[in-house]
A = this chain, B = another copy of it.
Amino acid sequence: MEQESGPIIAYPLLRTFCIDVLAKVKVPRDEAELIVENLIEADLRGVGSHGVVRFPIYIQRIADGGTNPQPSMKIVRETRTTAVFDGDNGLGHLVGIRAMELAINKASEGDCTFVAVRNSNHFGTAAYYAEMATRHNLIGFSFTIGAINHMTPWGGAEAVLGNNPFAVAFPTPEPFPIVLDMACSVAARGKIIVAAKEGQPIPADWATGPDGLPTTNAIEALKGFVTPVGGPKGYALTLVVGLLSTMLSGAFFGNDVGDLYAKTTAAQNSGHLFGVLPVTAFDSLEIYKDRMARAMADVRGVKKAPGVERVYLPGEREYLSMNTRRVDGIPLGRSLVAELQALGDRYGVPFEAAD
């Protein structure tokens, strides 16, 4: 969601604030540090829709009993290449890290491994977990069920599907991984919210109204459903990402899925699936990296469309943003800053945005 421009917040200040607030709601400090690193990486990478803008609802859910600040996560079933991991209703950012770590550790003998997760919560960006794998020369996969049902099956007029995100990340010979991280809608729902606030129409392929028919009226669109990319393709894609994230673990799917924002006292039982493929099981790392270097050169080296100066690889812009924002700080919208200040006031943790 786009934010009205506001102050630039230094990365360490934002990090410390979030850790301190998590500690106030009884999240152990070492786990809070992991959670916040994951959370703020979204803001650093320019993916503000999945960063600290979500922090207040995470805290609200803990305060209201909907999320467990001190989960006892455990493996409930395991083979040498698979596991089912129970997050005990912990924050998704922590559960996801622990589950991907498990997949990575299980791959230490050179196997393809997959870990299915249940009893988790909204986990932020799918990219974070897929990228974790690349630091071990693994190709990483990350799938999750969305935390609210905003989609309807193709031909339907009722929300039983999430706008389910997934990520795939590859090790490269450069300092950043190639990473796809996408949900299945044409446009983020946040853009429709902005259009509705501004009284602007939306393109006809962004959403359908509550009747399931396309609409350019942003207010009707918010009562309806976001349109999947490629129509029936995106419907099939979001369904498949949702099934991968839930059918192997028993996490909630379809009518059982709650609403991250509306039901703050009830556990969401969100599901994820993490997987890794070890590059060196297939060929030497040198040969793989040579292939990847050629592929990256082919993509970057294309003739450009008029007005385009540079072609980026997926994940490259985000990497460049991260490097810049770690030093220069993170721009946050004014209303978000006010929300964080109010949150800080509630928990006795000052949020000092120099603005």
A170 within 8 A of partner (CB) = yes
Report whether B182 and A255 are in contact in the complex, using a CB–CB cutoff of 8 Å.
Answer: no
A298 to B257, CA, bound (A): 11
Contact with B along A261-286 (1 / 0, CB 8 A): 00000000000000101110111000
Residue of B nearest to A103 (CB): B112
A180 to B254, CA, bound (A): 18
Assuming the A-B contacts A153-B299, A244-B139, A282-B82, are A236 and B180 also in contact, with contact meaning beta carbons closer than 8 angstroms in the complex? Answer: yes
In the complex, chain B residues whose CB is within 8 Å of the CB of A101: none
- Contact partner of A282 among B110, B116, B211, B311, CB < 8 A? B116
A312 to B239, CA, bound (A): 12
In the complex, chain B residues whose CB is within 8 Å of the CB of A291: 246-247, 250, 253
- Give the dominant DSSP class at A's interface: mixed
- Contact partner of A239 among B110, B112, B113, B299, CB < 8 A? B299
Assuming the A-B contacts A178-B243, A229-B234, A291-B247, are A311 and B84 also in contact, with contact meaning beta carbons closer than 8 angstroms in the complex? Answer: no
A123 within 8 A of partner (CB) = no
- Contact partner of A248 among B77, B232, B288, CB < 8 A? B288
Report whether B230 and A186 are in contact in the complex, using a CB–CB cutoff of 8 Å.
Answer: yes
Assuming the A-B contacts A81-B111, A279-B248, A288-B248, are A153 and B243 also in contact, with contact meaning beta carbons closer than 8 angstroms in the complex? Answer: no
Contact with B along A148-162 (1 / 0, CB 8 A): 000011111110110
Give A98-156 interface residues, CB cut-off 8 Å to B: 110-114, 116, 139, 152-156
Report whether A249 and B282 are in contact in the complex, using a CB–CB cutoff of 8 Å.
Answer: yes
In the complex, chain B residues whose CB is within 8 Å of the CB of A114: 112, 277
A5 within 8 A of partner (CB) = no
Interface size grouping (class) on chain A: 35 or more
Report whether B156 and A311 are in contact in the complex, using a CB–CB cutoff of 8 Å.
Answer: yes
- Contact partner of A283 among B240, B250, B288, CB < 8 A? B250
Give A298-333 interface residues, CB cut-off 8 Å to B: 298-300, 302-306, 308, 310-314
- Minimum C-beta distance from A107 to chain B (A): 9
A42 within 8 A of partner (CB) = no
Subset of 12 A-B contacts with CB under 8 Å = A81-B112, A82-B278, A112-B113, A152-B305, A153-B302, A155-B305, A160-B298, A168-B240, A212-B306, A236-B314, A248-B282, A254-B299
- The chain A residues found within 8 Å of chain B, CB to CB, are 77, 79-82, 84, 110-114, 116, 139, 152-158, 160-161, 168, 170, 178, 180, 182, 186, 205, 208, 211-213, 229-230, 232-237, 239-240, 243-244, 246-250, 253-255, 275, 277-279, 281-283, 287-288, 291-292, 294-295, 298-300, 302-306, 308, 310-314
